[in-house]
Amino acid sequence: MQRYQHTVASEARCNGIGLHSGREVELTIKPAPPNHGIRFARIDLPNRPTICALFKNVVDTSLATVIGGDGAIVSTIEHLMASFAGLGIDNALVEINSYELPILDGSAAPFARMLAEAGLTEQASPRYYFMVKQPIQLSENGRSVTIYPDENARVTCNIDFAHPAMGKQSVTINLSGNAFEEEISRARTFGFLQELEFMKQCGLAKGGSLENAIVLDHERVINEEGLRFEDEFARHKLLDCLGDFSLLGIPILGHIVTHKSGHAFNHAFLEKFFQEKNCWETTTLPAREKAAVHA
């Protein structure tokens, strides 16, 4: 766990196509001062509108996580946000020249790699955490998200798909060391062939291909290279969860457990989380450690 906030040590750049727009996109990540948070700047628009990556600014969760404000939107932010969370980056300015982030290879690995190459810088300001004191749960129609008290930051993701190549899968990660880079970042987004064809007919998924997604027909994975992990589907859902929960603005000390959840349900849980203020408190690590010694 980090006691102090971090930003990138130098600029990081990448380019690629948007999953749904099919447009070529250029993205630059710049260092930012303490307490800045993660912000996205649309440099292709007049006055370069900037949007804070916070759950209150989420405007759509139907196909991806989309934030908006000041007449602008930024779409499909979850993989980059997961990389910030997984690597412990609190402050950064993301400049983008389109409304959708590049999908790259469908995972967070390219983002994580370029951020690691840019390096991290520790900042003078303490890092705040939400410390969970009592369980909080949201459940509906077989889906659920629950967060339990825990001294560490942990996430468990459970999925259950009626598909022979998927079925039930469960994965847990402790957000420490290189766990995100080694166990989660390489897991790719996935979809079904019949849905992909329909979406393209509707003008969506214009940039989708076997190069940036796992695609399944009625029986199997059709990508020639197969899966990167036996449980890659659950790992990618966990990756999305990290990205969505990072929109709280500060990390959580607790154990998040999801079952059959997605962007929309994750967002609904974040709203409930903030309503349950008696179940958590904000703290810094030094203050928390002193309290534990005193107890």
Distance from chain centroid for Cα 141: 24
Residues 6+ apart with CB under 8 A from 189: 19, 79, 103, 106, 107, 212, 213, 214, 236
Count of H helices and E strands in the chain?
Answer: 7, 19
Domains for the chain: give ranges and CATH numbers: 4-126 (3.30.230.20), 129-294 (3.30.1700.10)
What sign results for the dihedral spanned by CA atoms 61, 167, 81, 211? negative
Per-residue model confidence (pLDDT) at position 202: 77
Average pLDDT over residues 216-223: 95
Catalytic residues: 263
Question: What is the rounded distance in angstroms from the CA atom of residue 145 to the CA atom of residue 143?
Answer: 7
Q: Tokens at residue 10, please?
A: 């130098």
Using 50, 70 and 90 to split pLDDT, how confident is the model at 290?
Answer: very low
What average pLDDT does this structure show over 88-100? Answer: 98
146, exposed or middle or buried, with CB in 10 Å at 0-12, 13-18, 19+? middle
**Residue range 275-283: average pLDDT?**
97
- Report the phi/psi class of residue 63: left, alpha or beta, with left for phi > 0 and alpha for psi in -120 to 50: alpha
Average pLDDT of the residues in 154-161: 97
Question: Which three-class secondary structure string do you get for 226-268?
Answer: CCCCCCHHHHHHHHHHHHHHHHHCCCEEEEEEEECCCHHHHHH
pLDDT number for residue 65? 96
Rounded to a whole number of angstroms, the CA Rg of the chain reads: 19
Q: Is 80 exceeded by the pLDDT of residue 197?
A: no
**What are the phi and psi torsion angles at 44 (to 5°)?**
-85, -5
Instruction: Kindly give the pairing relationship between strand 190-192 and strand 38-42.
Output: unpaired
The angle subtended at Cα 48 by Cα 43 and Cα 54, nearest 5°, is 95
Q: What percent of the chain has pLDDT above 90? A: 88
| DSSP-derived 3-state class of residue 85 | helix
**How confident is the model at residue 292, as a pLDDT?**
44
Integer Cα distance of 256 and 130 in angstroms? 12
- Give the Cα-Cα-Cα angle 232, 67, 38 (nearest 5 degrees): 80
